[in-house]
Structures are given as C-alpha cells and as structure tokens.
Structure 1
Amino acid sequence: MKFKVIVVTSRTDLTDRIVDAAKAAGATGATIINGRGAGIHEARTFFGLTLDVQRDVILMLLEQHLVEPVLAAASEAGEFAKPGTGIAFVLDVESVAGLQSQIPKFQETLQKAE
C-alpha cells in the first residue's frame, strides 16, 4: 500500500467542517495542531499590538487512491477559493508504522476502488 499525507492549514472556525468533509470522502481520521500563520498580507493590529492569526494544521494520512477526493472535499469545505481561509498540499510518505489495527479497513477500501 502507498500512503500520502494531506497537510491543511485553515482558519480555526473551518477546521471541524474540513475534517467532517474529509471523513465523508474517505479519510479515517485527522490530527489537528494549533498554530499561527504569517502570509503575504500584513498582520492586523489593535492599538499598536500585533494580533496573531490563529490557524489549525490538519494532518491526514491516507491511502494514495483516497487523496484526490479527500483533498477536493477539504478544499471545498475550507472555502480555499477565498483568500485567507487556508491551503492544502500533499506529501509522499516513505514508510509507516502503527497502522496494524486499520489494515483490514485499508484493504476493504482498496478492493472497492479496484
């Protein structure tokens, strides 16, 4: 089996929608990490204090054949066509450990995809 990871950075208010859409498209779960963002637009200030833009980083480890539908669902749910809502990208995964309990589910979805 080949795996990839989808990395999503999103506004915190969109995180639950993104994860729900990704799960509906075939993702089995996600890891969510709090972060803060810096982009091409200046940070907002309030009385001279810079306000950091809070972001969530969502990591989803997927079988290769699920990447496109999950990425499309996350992009739509996250409203990524609008500026400042978030981005997503895919990374190759060389090796994986700790997924023994999920192997039957992976094999089942792989058979359905063929």
Structure 2
Amino acid sequence: MRFKLIVALVENERTDALLDAARNAGATGSTLINNARGEGLQRARGIFGMEITTQRDMLLFLAEEHYSRAILEAIARVGEFDETPGTGIAFQLDVEDAVGVKHQVESLGLNPDAGD
C-alpha cells in the first residue's frame, strides 16, 4: 500500500470548507495544526508599516495514493489557491511507510495486507 502526505497551508476561514472538500474526495481523516505563519513574495504591510499576518492552519492528510490527486485538486479548487494570491498552498509528498492506518484503509475497501 502506498501513501502520500498532503500538506495544505490555508487561511483559517477556509479550513472547514477544505476539510469537507478533502473528505468528499476520499480523505479518511486529517490532522489540523493551528497558528501556522507564512509569507508570500512580499510581506503584507498595514497602517504605519506594521506587518500584517493572518492566522493560517496547516492541514495534514495521509492518503492512499489512488485518492491523493483527487484530494489535492479538491483542496486547490475550494481554496482558490491559483485564482487568489495569498489564500494558501498545498502539496503532496511520498510516504515511505505508515502504521496505524489499517482501519482507514479497510474503510476504503482495500486490503491493508496487500503489497504494492
């Protein structure tokens, strides 16, 4: 069984919508880390030149590889990452091995003991 780790860094107002989109695309769960901070090409400046940062959330999804692209595309679509600068970013990474996911794999109707 092969997995991908999908990481999404998003404005916290969009978190619930992205979680719903990921679940509808096949995600079986997620981990949410609050209060992440990031910068784009230029720092956002407000009144008196003070730096403005909005709260961001980091969403982590461990997804079976057959579902990972659909999940990533659903997140990108709902998050409007390519349409609106500064709304967030998402990417996926190969996972060499994972444990503790047997119940999620079974819920997808896959054989967790099967090889690649």
- Structure-1-length-normalised TM-score: 0.86
> 1:25: which partner in 2?
25
Q: Distance in 2 between matches of 1:100 and 1:5?
A: 16
How far off is 1:44 after superposition?
2.5
Q: Distance in 2 between matches of 1:83 and 1:60?
A: 23
> 2:90: which partner in 1?
88
Structure 1, residues 34-76: CA drift from partner, whole Å, max 9, x if none? 2111221222234454332321111000000001111111101
Q: Distance in 2 between matches of 1:59 and 1:28?
A: 11
Pairing of 1:69-88 with structure 2 (within 5 A): 69-81=70-82, 82-88=84-90
The total of aligned residue pairs comes to: 109
SS in 2 for 1:53: coil
Q: Which has the higher helix share?
A: 1
Q: Which has the higher strand share?
A: 1
Q: Distance in 1 between matches of 2:25 and 2:97?
A: 23
- Structure-2-length-normalised TM-score: 0.84
Instruction: Verify: 1:41 aligned to 2:42, yes or no.
Output: yes
CA RMSD in angstroms comes to: 1.6
How far off is 1:98 after superposition?
1.2
* Amino-acid identity (%): 46
Q: Distance in 2 between matches of 1:78 and 1:109?
A: 29
Gapped regions of structure 1 (runs ≥ 5): none
